[in-house]
Structure 1
Amino acid sequence: MFDNLSDKLDKAFHILKGHGKITEVNVADTLKEVRRALLDADVNFKIAKDFTNRVKEKALGQDVLTNLQPGQLMVKIVKDELIELMGGEAAGINLSGNPSVILMSGLQGSGKTTFSGKLANFLKSKKSKNPLLVACDVYRPAAINQLHVVGEQLGVEVYSEAGNMNPVEIAQNAIKHAKANGFNVVIVDTAGRLAVDEEMMNEIANIHKAIQPQETLFVVDAMTGQDAVNTAKAFNDRLNFDGVILTKLDGDTRGGAAISIKSVVNKPIKFIGTGEKMDAIDVFYPNRMADRILGMGDVISLVERAQAQYDEEEARKIQKKIAKNEFGFDDFLSQIQQVKKMGNMKDLMGMIPGVGKAMKDVEIEDDAFKHIEAIIYSMTPDERTRPSLLDVKRKNRIARGSGTSVQQVNQLLKQFDQMSKMMKMMQGSKGKNLMRMMGNLKGMQ
């Protein structure tokens, strides 16, 4: 995420490295590179110019007695300005209605239908809501079926009307259905439309007028860069939407849409899509995003993802097994499954300060654990429970069964042994403190 922009900003800050103080000359050189980095990231020229002008004004106005080095000071100022540019604070979603009605709008192919499902899943699992998905895309042949598939996958009801080609009526009838059946959130998925298509723009304006949603969200593909910003402006002029959803942000190495869109339409980015899975949705935090753009990681989001997968009861069971020297490969496998649920490995690594830069040229596949899992699945139940059984003959059989080498099997056994010893050392007061800390973290959500 934002790899190109992060690299170029890092190079820009290097200009100040070794300088004892900030001057007109070295600030001008640095900000020239910062502006170029922003333009390469597909940020609007005026926004990039205004941004660097504000940074210059603040940098030259800083107290020369500051404890920060010039490079560090510039990073801090740029970070503060990036946060402000992207909205300052995280924006909540309005769920005040009964039911709360959320209207999804956007271009064709922006990911509205998929994100409607993600949002329903988020509200159901994180906000304890009972959402109803509404299929109002009556033009794309597979759209209604796609929403039903998504709804079935999530255990969320989908309202649709066969043969009715009037999305206004469908939306109105869906809200009546929601009121009668105890749904407290209605998410209306509409057809994708171009801003230049007057008839389609009139249609969504009519839907908006008829159902009076608490939230109108504009869904846009982050990878379209400046085009996404221009489209958002055209839609906002007609709908006056409440917020933006950026999809496919995990594939965007530039970042222009995320940086520019708030400044152009003066509407906050509320959510971001970070992958294909139904739980790949995050609230947009400008401060965390600024950290990631500047290569500082995002520890808070990493902890939150870990908390979401943290099973206190499972942790207690594993703690007891460790104490009795009964921690086996089945337990190890369950820990791997929890890590995999947190997201793709490269994205997780990028959240750890310093690691993202160190691994920028390293390709980490989403199935990074596949060899480990294959080796474990090739073991018998007894072997998984008692790794001490694994002699040369058994190791050869496991290597053949998993499509790996004996060296890889030995390497896994060595790592497993080291990890078991480390976990054993963490028992006692240190282990209890760790359990207490994890419990406190979970309670802070």
Structure 2
Amino acid sequence: MNTTAHKIQFRKAQTAMPASIAPEECLNAVFAAALSAVDPLIVVPPFLPVPPLNGRTVVVGAGKAASRMAQAVEANWNGELQGLVVTRYGHGAGCRRIEVVEAGHPVPDEAGADAARRILDLVSGLGSDDLVLCLISGGGSSLLTMPAPGITLEEKRAVNRALLLKGAPISEMNCVRRHLSAIKGGRLADACGAARIVTLVISDVPGDNPAVVASGPTIADNSTPAEALTILDRYGIVVPEHVRTLLRESCRREVVTPNPANRVVVIATAQHALEAAANKAAELGLAPVILSNRIEGEARDVGMVHAAIAMQIRDFGQPVAGPALLLSGGETTVSVRGNGRGGRNVEFLLSLAAGLDGRSGIYALACDTDGIDGSEENAGALIRPATLVRARALGLDAAEYLANNDAYSFFDRLGDLVVTGPTRTNVNDFRAVLVTTDDI
């Protein structure tokens, strides 16, 4: 298996931030630059393979970016093709030759299960002259769902919901999903027979391991059923005994080993988005600092750490002098304790605001690059130095909203939600903290 990724050239900062640009405009501009850098219409075409001389081309795929990836293929493909991709409800985009199916996310549903069965039918019976072009992006684990024999869809849904509520990181969630699936962990590649397979991946996972993105339907699984059992036990998730038996007995099943000649290309990542944002920040006269592209952990804890770093810049000019822009990506989690509304990005921001406690000159934006933060319609939100003052004037207590996991309602009352609609890409969380040199 060959795995490659593309690079973005990094530019140096200019000398000063233009006074005419408002902090909110800066944050919106760097977020727009980040999204543009990972737009499937831009990143897919350079990596398309040569069409087969005599065989068929079958396009399959799953994820929040799947429909736009399919559009990019259709617009740049010289030859016949057919296929089916599955994406989240509301994330579809029009294609002429590749069928786009919408299904449930983050909890799988019957539409996704039906799409998975149809995808397996499409690749069955292919020969060595044929090509399978597989388009994979984040969200595919829920969207491309086919429970292993002996497990029902509802049982798999219950495990999925339990892991979400416990705040399990995506790597652990996908480990369990792979071992309860009949199509993930390389099993889709196995169904393709002798056909050549090229998999294009837009990564939403920290570390960008393509075997983890959408649970790697065309990539051999190096994890074990015992690891899946350990994860379930760590979070105290109770599953039916026959599910545990399946995991125990699957240790003795033949390991799926897709053809090593299959090509896997990671074409867009959080790092690409962060570097594009940093380049835009430099154009605006900011000193960009990319903290990491793979930050995990509780969103509220990550918020407090970002607050501390921002104040270090503000107070001491360390590790850089302002005006500066802190950038980070990855995937935080939220352990649900309350009954409020909101995703991990608004929870991060509410914690960040609390940590800053109205500190002057610091602004921030945090959004999910797919345009949907959790299960709400917003991508994320914005905070300003006056956020907590404005909240108190409305009778909003930030600590109470944070304790109730109700950050969406907090920012909704303030009118500070960021709503982009589905972006049809997905490299996970995008966080930008702007530290100015002004006392505003």
Q: TM-score, normalised by structure 2?
A: 0.31
Q: Which has the higher helix share?
A: 1
Q: Which has the larger radius of gyration?
A: 1
Q: Report 1 or 2 for greater relative contact order, CA contacts < 8 Å, sequence distance ≥ 6.
A: 2
Q: TM-score, normalised by structure 1?
A: 0.30
Q: Which has the higher strand share?
A: 2
